[in-house]
Amino acid sequence: MPPINAPVTAQELSTLSTKAIDAKAAAYCPYSKFRVGACILTASGEFVVGANVENVAYPVGTCAERVAFATAIVAGHKEFRAIAVATDITPGASPCGMCRQ
Ligand SMILES: [Zn+2]
């Protein structure tokens, strides 16, 4: 297992990107129509994906990054090396303000 601060390899970056893009297909965004996919690389080398999940009550929706982190944490992962976020816009969007905190 590489150290937590090990640079992301080109192969890991490629996998993060592909999985984040593919995760957009799982987005539930009937209100905004703004699909977001995310993929996390855990310290143990696993890739965990998430997609945004909206609710008619706006604040209840969950961004793709938080879905990915919650999924990873519930699976027992507590340390992460990298995250990729994919959208359908160019240039791509950065992680949401809540996640950047
Ligand atoms: Zn977020």
What the chain holds in terms of domains, given with CATH numbers, is 10-90 (3.40.140.10)
12 flagged as catalytic: no
User: What is the mean pLDDT of the segment spanning 51-56?
Assistant: 95
At 86, list the tokens.
């994919």
d(CA 58, CA 44): 34
Nearest to 85, CA basis, from 73, 70, 67:
67
Examine the pLDDT at 101 and tell me if it is beyond 80: no
Q: Give, in order, the Cα–Cα distances in Å from 35 to each of 11, 39, 85.
A: 25, 14, 11
Determine the distance separating the centroid of ligand 1 and the alpha carbon of 43, expressed in angstroms: 20
For residue 71, what pLDDT is reported?
98
Examine the pLDDT at 2 and tell me if it is beyond 80: no
Question: For residue 45, what pLDDT band results from cuts at 50, 70 and 90?
Answer: very high
d(CA 41, CA 15): 9
For residue 100, what pLDDT is reported?
80
Selecting among 12, 46, 65, 79, the annotated active-site residue is 65
For residue 83, what pLDDT is reported?
94
User: What is the overall mean pLDDT for the chain?
Assistant: 93
Work out the burial of residue 96: count CB atoms within 10 Å of its CB; fewer than 13 is exposed, 13-18 middle, 19 or more buried.
Answer: middle
Determine the distance separating the centroid of ligand 1 and the alpha carbon of 36, expressed in angstroms: 10
